[in-house]
Homo-oligomer: A and B are copies of this chain.
Amino acid sequence: MMNLTESFTISLPCGWKQQLPDHLLLTDEEKMLFVIDLARWNVQAHGGGPFAAAVFEQKTGQLISIGVNRVVSGLCSLAHAEAVALALAQQTAQQYDLSSKRERSFELVTSGQPCIQCFGMVWWSGVRRLVVAARSTDIERLAGFDEGPIPSDWAESLSSRSPLPPVEVLMDVCREQACEVLTEYAVSGQPNYSPGRSQANWGFRIGSTGQSGRSEYFSKGLCCADGFT
């Protein structure tokens, strides 16, 4: 019997505190531009894919958590930006169901439309509002990532899913600015971490370096230890 792993940890990259705003962000556009800046920072610091997200308390605008893509650096395919932001929000709020206190509701602001996995994560998280910048078609076209078999009525299904609490969806907020970050990622030559995409024998549409993402990340010395146990 080989040694099995008992736990896994996903961490924000070094320097995340320096990215936080010093004032409340009150409009959807202000929140989204902050999130898009996080995504750009993640690309430039080689922290992971060109995606970021944040959870805010709806009534006050208080920032509850941030998330950036950590798939390659965290060796964890589920560590999409939305997953990180949602899990950290639940930890901060000490609620596995963010809808469990009706007087305090939360929204997820994300630089890219949730993929099939993150659509499901939003479904169970308890957030009551979802604000999206780039569409999945942008993500596929500009950065070459697969998005999976998202139901065509995914937004409608979130907003009308009785008896579960509905999730309001707002699309295309600062879409153009989010698309610029997707293009920057493609140009930077960083990896496509979808299954089989990092291997020459499965094909590699965009951003191939001829190396695994991990060795590139560590050779640049820009990645924090993730504290896996």
B83:A78 contact, CB within 8 angstroms: yes
Which of the residues B4, B9, B20, B62 comes within 8 Å of A8, measured between beta carbons?
B9
Contacts of A6 in B (CB 8 A): 11-12, 16, 88
The number of times this chain is found in the oligomer is: 2
Interface bits A48-78 vs B (CB < 8 Å: 1, else 0): 0000000000000011111000011011111
Interface bits A181-202 vs B (CB < 8 Å: 1, else 0): 0000000000001111111011
A148:B163 contact, CB within 8 angstroms: no
Say yes or no for A221: interface residue by CB 8 A criterion. no
Contacts of A7 in B (CB 8 A): 9-12, 88, 226-227
Contacts of A117 in B (CB 8 A): 117, 119-121, 123-124
Interface bits A82-114 vs B (CB < 8 Å: 1, else 0): 010011101110111111101000000000000
Which of the residues B8, B88, B98 comes within 8 Å of A91, measured between beta carbons?
B8
Contacts of A62 in B (CB 8 A): 2
Main secondary structure of the interface of A (DSSP, over half): loop
A96:B71 contact, CB within 8 angstroms: yes
Contacts of A16 in B (CB 8 A): 6
- Pick the most buried of A2, A65, A96, A199: most chain B CB atoms within 10 A of its CB: A96
Contacts of A78 in B (CB 8 A): 78, 83, 86-87, 121, 124-125
Say yes or no for A212: interface residue by CB 8 A criterion. yes
Apart from A1-B20, A78-B125: 5 A-B pairs, beta carbons within 8 A: A4-B65, A4-B88, A74-B96, A76-B96, A96-B193
